[in-house]
Structure formats: C-alpha cells, structure tokens
A and B are shown apart, each in its own frame.
Chain A
C-alpha cells in the first residue's frame, strides 16, 4: 500500500482555528474586525459584544460539534460495516432522529419537558440504526437497501407528522426546520444537548481497536479477542446518542458523514483507527466552512445549512458510486 505524506492533522487543526476565527468575524451584519475588538474591550453590553457572544460563538460551537459528530459517526460506521457508503444519513439514523425531534416539538412534548427533543431524537436515531443493522447485516448492498428502507420509513413518518401538523403554520415550520441550520440557537439549548453528544463521542472513542481488527474479517476479529456484539452496540449507541442529539439541535444535515472520512483517508491511511479523529476534525471544518459560506452568499431568504451540504454532497456521492462500479468486477 502506498503511504501518502502524513501530518495533515496539525494542518487541519490550524485550518479549523482559522475558520473558527473567520466565523466570529463574518456574519449577515458586517462589523469590521476593529469594531469587534473595540466592542469586546468597551463597556458591555454593546452591539459587537452581543453579536459575537450571543449569536456567532454559539453558532460556531454548534457547527463544530455537529460537524465533528457527523464526521466521526461516518468514519465509525464505514469501519464497522466495512462499507464505503455507510453514513448516518444514508443509514436512516439522521432521518430517525429528525422524526423523533419533530414529534417532540410539534406534539407538545418539548413545551412540557425541555429534554424531550434530544431524548426523542436519540430514541429515533437508535431505533432507525438498530433496524438498519438488523436487516442489512449480510453485505454492502443489503445494508444500503436497508438504510434506504429505514430512511423511507422515517420520511413516511415525517410526512405523517406534516399531515397531522397542528396548524398550517406548524407544517411550514417543520419543513424549514428539516432543512437544517445552526443559526440563532441559544446557549441553554446547546447546553441541553452537549452531554449526550459527549457521551456518544465517548462510546465511539472505545471502538478503534475493534474496528482495526474487523478489517481482517469478522471471524479473524473474534479470534483476536474482539467482542463483536459489544463493538456493534458501542458504535450504535455512540452514533445514536451523538447524531440523535446533534440532529435535535440542528435538523437533518446530510453527507458530511459520508464525505469527511473519504477525504481524509488518502492522507492518513486506511486503518479505521487512524481515520476517526481526522474525520471528526474534517467534518467540523467542512460544516463550519459551509455555514460561513451561507452567511456570505447573498440570498433574500437564508440558504439553509442542510440544503448546501446536500448540494455539495450529492455530486460526491455520484463520484463514489462511479468509483465503486469501476472497482467492482
């Protein structure tokens, strides 16, 4: 195997830092950096300070968390299923999470009990992921088919929710919410979902050794002492917790989990354990840069984050399919 030059992780971290800086400066309202710095030093509150601390920092933090979650989730799923097309969105996990969150918000559970949205998001992600795993165990093709069946089920559930929306206004809100966004979320909401996302990351952080062994095949991995059921349970729980909570915050954002692992693989090698962290960092970078692009692109109605990731991700998906077709006999 040809080894490409390494050390992209420090480079990616530097880019991430630069993007985070840009994310604090760039917004729909242009404030020159000088004004921003003056504002941070001036007596508070003032406009610059409010915009940065209450709007741009939460938005940046959320984009980083959601992007990292999707990048990490995609990398773990691709390693676990040994399938280059595995990703939370394509396996129905994001759809299940979105359905759970929509039910929580629009059927009044969230107003009575704030944790209902992340909890139902996680439950939906867990149910969808478990269904896909259950039906798609026997190979690449069946897994993708099971994933699309589960996505279809989630879409049907969402259509049903739209059908029974409590008001035309709620139906409009559901559709816009589903397009995905990290804008204008409050600190309190972010605080509500962060523990779940961190717990999910912890579960996923326990998988690399098993994923490496799994590249040799299931029987070989078991002979190496890997508990496959435990590995699957950890991966599923980790993805459900982190993607479920992230989706409850930001809506359904597709393709980041698919694109991130593929783009870092040529630089860090093909061992699953080496991909997880770079993929998470790259996912965060990708989503943050996309979110910055949204603020710069002049549209009278704000372009939604999930819409742009899908527009970028779909051609990549086509390219992957073409490449798979070339590689397979």
Chain B
C-alpha cells in the first residue's frame, strides 16, 4: 500500500510471489523498472482485496500500518512497517529490512553493493568546482535539508542552495532568494502525472526563462520520491547532465 515498497518488492522477489501491488505504483515502475509490473495484480488498499488475495506478508508504509495490522489479523498475515527513506543510509536500512522480510537477504545485499559501488565511484570522481543548484519548480515545497532530493544532489557532486534554508525538509524558496543565490542550474521535477496545472497555465516566470535558459535540468520525479537503490543512478544521471550545461556561470 506504499508505492515505493512495491517497486522494491518487484526488484527482490519473482512476480509469482507477489499477491498484489498498489495501483499507485504503476507510474513509478514505468519510470524505474519499465515493464516489471506486467501481469501483477493491483490493489486499491481496500479491506476486501486483502481478504480476497490473502497475502502472507503485508508491506505497509508508516501511515497505512495501523490499518494494515487490523486487516492482517483477519487473514493471518504478517505486517512489516517500512519507513520512507530520506537518505542513502535510510535506503540501506529499508532494503535490508524488506530483503529479510521476504526471505531474500542475498538479493538485497547485492542491490546495496551495486548502489554503494556507484556512490563510491561518484565520490571518487568529484568535479573540480561543485555546481550550485536547486530543485525548483515554483517557490513552494522546495526540498531542503533532510530530503532524499538533497542527498541525491549531494551525491551528484553539487551544492543544493536550498539546503541553507532553516532546518525544515521542504520550504518556501521564493524567486527573490533564487535570484540572490544565483544558482548554476535549476533542476525541475518532471511528474509523470499528466493534466493541466497552474504551472502550465502560468508557464515559468519569465526571469527563469531569461537567465536560466539552457540551464534547466529535467529530472524524473519518481526517482527522487522513492528512496531505492536506483537513487544512486539518479545521482549519476544528474552528474552526466551537468556536463551538458553551458560553461561558466549564468550571465545577467
């Protein structure tokens, strides 16, 4: 009932061992493991489905855990509560936890070894001058310290200018602050959610268009929303995208 858990589950066990995954997971799976969920049953987090599908184990997010425990009693399933991962340390912890829970500790260990290898490579190939960037798609809810996005940016060898916000995970980071900080690049989350939004209607503020033209990096939201071994790939992808930026600092 927590889409990030389901992506992890698809990586750890063969499909025939999965009773169902949440209907919310499809977009994230398409972004991270295309095609991995074909043929896997979906649930909508309802009691009826759990009773029908009779799983042996329910992976629950922190919010859905109390409900999952109640349902689990009815079908005799075990509940494992998996916290959301906001750092690479969290990722190591939850991958091990879920790996143990589903009886695939070896597979979990292999995924983590691969992730740590990538992180070590990134750390040993730091750019000479760290770029100053921000994940900004409007001044609301900009990821600061304590967010997975911040960790991915740090691993990619850049400085998240919003990490200097007072200690809060997501906060307002207005255009004034953005202009004053004058980042080298602006990372913009691409949601896979289609449909109109205020951002489409107002497009981007003309100042961003004018001064950060060619310095905007689109990144897939899904890779940043879920703390998974793939988060290291997201950091590598960012590092590669930095190379395509124009040289020097953005000019007035």
B175 proximity list for chain A (CB < 8 A): 55, 184
5 contacts between A and B (CB under 8 A): A28-B177, A29-B179, A45-B252, A104-B201, A167-B193
A100 CA to B206 CA, complexed, in Å? 25
Residues of B within 8 A of A (CB): 139-141, 165-166, 168, 170-172, 174-177, 179-180, 182, 191, 193-202, 205-207, 252
Considering the complex of A and B, which 7 residue pairs feature the smallest CB-CB distances, nearest first?
Answer: A166-B195, A167-B193, A110-B201, A302-B172, A108-B196, A300-B168, A300-B171
Known pairs A51-B179, A300-B172; A170 contacts B202 (CB<8 A): no
Q: Is A111 an interface residue (CB 8 A)?
A: yes
Q: Are B191 and A167 in contact (CB under 8 A)?
A: yes
Q: Is A47 an interface residue (CB 8 A)?
A: yes
Q: Is A126 an interface residue (CB 8 A)?
A: no
B205 proximity list for chain A (CB < 8 A): 184, 186
B197 proximity list for chain A (CB < 8 A): 105-106, 166-167, 169-170, 173
Interface mask (A210-228 → B, CB under 8 Å = 1, otherwise 0): 0000000000000000000
**Majority DSSP secondary structure for residues of B touching A:** loop
Q: Is A189 an interface residue (CB 8 A)?
A: yes
Distance in Å from the Cβ of A46 to the closest Cβ of chain B? 7
Q: Is A117 an interface residue (CB 8 A)?
A: yes
Known pairs A27-B176, A300-B171; A170 contacts B206 (CB<8 A): no
Tell which of A28, A107, A186 touches B174, judged by Cβ atoms closer than 8 Å.
A28
Q: Are A47 and B168 in contact (CB under 8 A)?
A: no
Q: Is A195 an interface residue (CB 8 A)?
A: no
A203 CA to B10 CA, complexed, in Å? 64
Distance in Å from the Cβ of B44 to the closest Cβ of chain A? 15
Distance in Å from the Cβ of A98 to the closest Cβ of chain B? 13
Distance in Å from the Cβ of B134 to the closest Cβ of chain A? 14
Q: Which residue, of A108, A177, A184, has the highest number of chain B Cβ atoms within 10 A? A: A184
Interfacial residues of chain A within 289-308, with CB under 8 A of chain B in the complex = 298-302
Tell which of B140, B199, B202 touches A301, judged by Cβ atoms closer than 8 Å.
B140
Q: Are A189 and B166 in contact (CB under 8 A)?
A: no
A107 proximity list for chain B (CB < 8 A): 196
Interfacial residues of chain A within 84-137, with CB under 8 A of chain B in the complex = 104-108, 110-111, 117
Q: Is A8 an interface residue (CB 8 A)?
A: no
B165 proximity list for chain A (CB < 8 A): 300
Q: Are A117 and B201 in contact (CB under 8 A)?
A: yes
Q: Are A50 and B177 in contact (CB under 8 A)?
A: no
Distance in Å from the Cβ of B249 to the closest Cβ of chain A? 13
Q: Are B198 and A55 in contact (CB under 8 A)?
A: no
A55 CA to B193 CA, complexed, in Å? 30
A29 proximity list for chain B (CB < 8 A): 176-177, 179-180
Contacts beyond the supplied A110-B196, A176-B140: 16 A-B pairs with Cβ under 8 Å: A28-B174, A28-B177, A29-B180, A45-B252, A51-B176, A54-B206, A169-B191, A169-B193, A170-B195, A170-B196, A170-B197, A299-B172, A300-B166, A301-B170, A302-B140, A302-B174
A111 CA to B195 CA, complexed, in Å? 11
Interfacial residues of chain A within 242-264, with CB under 8 A of chain B in the complex = none
A170 CA to B195 CA, complexed, in Å? 8
B199 proximity list for chain A (CB < 8 A): 173
A54 CA to B207 CA, complexed, in Å? 8
Distance in Å from the Cβ of B214 to the closest Cβ of chain A? 18
Q: Is A183 an interface residue (CB 8 A)?
A: yes
Q: Is A168 an interface residue (CB 8 A)?
A: yes
